[in-house]
């Protein structure tokens, strides 16, 4: 069976001498495994199609009842060139892709998940790096996977803040006050607990969910409300 589909490559590995095996998330077929034959040859026209977080429309052949398809041609949509020039953005893009690979079932289509990844990569490509994007992406993926808590803010995070993490454009998630930093780190904690529960082994990509601002630096403020919130967060972040 031949068909065309839009895919975003999640990860790749070499297969035999000249081929590559690719995990990709497709618009109409969900997460699929594809073989790109001969792409390790210098003259291969499909080599760029098999690189991580490349967005393309690919011609695919699947044998009846086969679990692995074969890419036979295609047309590039975008390689997100601006994203690739920035190490922080590249790490975050790889983080998004690994989450999609590890947390989505194979051949179970969900166009909304494809658009989540596509839109997130586009925002990384077109706007400044935003540390809040990592927990926001995972919270939205959790929601689309049936594990979401969008309607129920956790750890006393304000509903407006929680809604923004789930619905606001990633580049607009700018949190500058100490209170916001506390809430963001609480959201990161929720994400880490989810990953610890549902992943059988740790992520391979650089973990963009780590705390980025030490609590002791934020605790220099004198506001009693902020100091109380920081104290609560310190308790929350203790190992379960």
Residues 127-158 pLDDT 10s: 998 889 999 999 999 999 988 889 888 888 99
Residues 17-68 pLDDT 10s: 889 999 999 999 999 999 999 888 877 889 999 999 999 999 999 998 889 9
Residues 140 and 224 in one domain: yes
**Plot region of 156 (φ>0 → left; ψ -120 to 50 → alpha; else → beta):** left
Residues 7 and 72 in one domain: yes
CA atoms within 13 A on the CB side of 81: 3
pLDDT for 237 equals 46
175 falls within a domain: yes
CB atoms within 10 A of CB 229: 20
Residues 141 and 227 in one domain: yes
Cα gap 135→72, rounded to integer Å: 36
Instruction: Label residue 238 exposed, middle or buried (CB < 10 Å: 0-12, 13-18, 19+).
Output: exposed
Residue bearing tokens 């880490």? 192
Residues 70 and 157 in one domain: no
Domains held by the chain: number: 2
How far is the CA of 166 from the CAs of 4, 60, 172, in angstroms?
Answer: 31, 34, 12
121 falls within a domain: no
57 falls within a domain: yes
pLDDT for 201 equals 86
59 falls within a domain: yes
The pair of structure tokens assigned to 13 is 């590995």
210 falls within a domain: yes
CATH number at residue 75: 2.40.50.140
Residues 179-194 pLDDT 10s: 888 888 889 888 888 8
Residues 76 and 134 in one domain: no
- Residue 214 pLDDT level (bands cut at 50, 70, 90): very low
Residues 75 and 137 in one domain: no
144 falls within a domain: yes
Residues 73 and 163 in one domain: no
Residues 135 and 232 in one domain: yes
Residues 76 and 137 in one domain: no
101 falls within a domain: no
Residues 138 and 76 in one domain: no
Provide the residue range defining the domain that includes 203. 130-236
93 falls within a domain: no
Residues 232 and 136 in one domain: yes
Residues 66 and 158 in one domain: no
């Amino acid at each position: 069976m031949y068909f065309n589909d839009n895919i975003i490559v999640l990860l790749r590995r070499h297969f035999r001498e000249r081929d590559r095996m690719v995990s990709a998330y497709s618009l109409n077929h969900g997460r699929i495994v594809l073989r790109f034959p001969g792409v390790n040859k210098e003259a291969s026209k499909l080599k760029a199609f098999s690189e991580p977080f490349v967005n393309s429309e690919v011609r695919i052949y699947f044998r009846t009842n086969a679990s692995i398809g074969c890419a036979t041609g295609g047309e590039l949509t975008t390689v997100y060139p601006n994203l690739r020039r920035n190490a922080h953005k590249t790490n975050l893009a790889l983080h998004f892709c690994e989450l999609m690979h590890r947390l989505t079932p194979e051949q179970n289509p969900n166009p909304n998940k494809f658009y989540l990844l596509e839109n997130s990569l586009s925002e990384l490509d077109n706007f400044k790096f935003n540390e809040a994007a990592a927990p926001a992406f995972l919270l939205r993926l959790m929601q689309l996977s049936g594990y979401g808590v969008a309607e129920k803010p956790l750890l006393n995070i304000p509903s407006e803040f929680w809604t923004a993490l789930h619905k606001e454009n990633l580049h607009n998630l700018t949190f500058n006050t100490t209170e916001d930093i506390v809430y963001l780190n609480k959201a990161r904690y929720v994400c880490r607990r989810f990953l610890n529960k549902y992943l059988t082994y740790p992520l391979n990509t650089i973990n963009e969910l780590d705390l980025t601002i030490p609590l002791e630096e934020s605790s220099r403020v004198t506001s009693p409300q902020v100091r109380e919130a920081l104290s609560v967060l310190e308790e929350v972040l203790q190992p379960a």
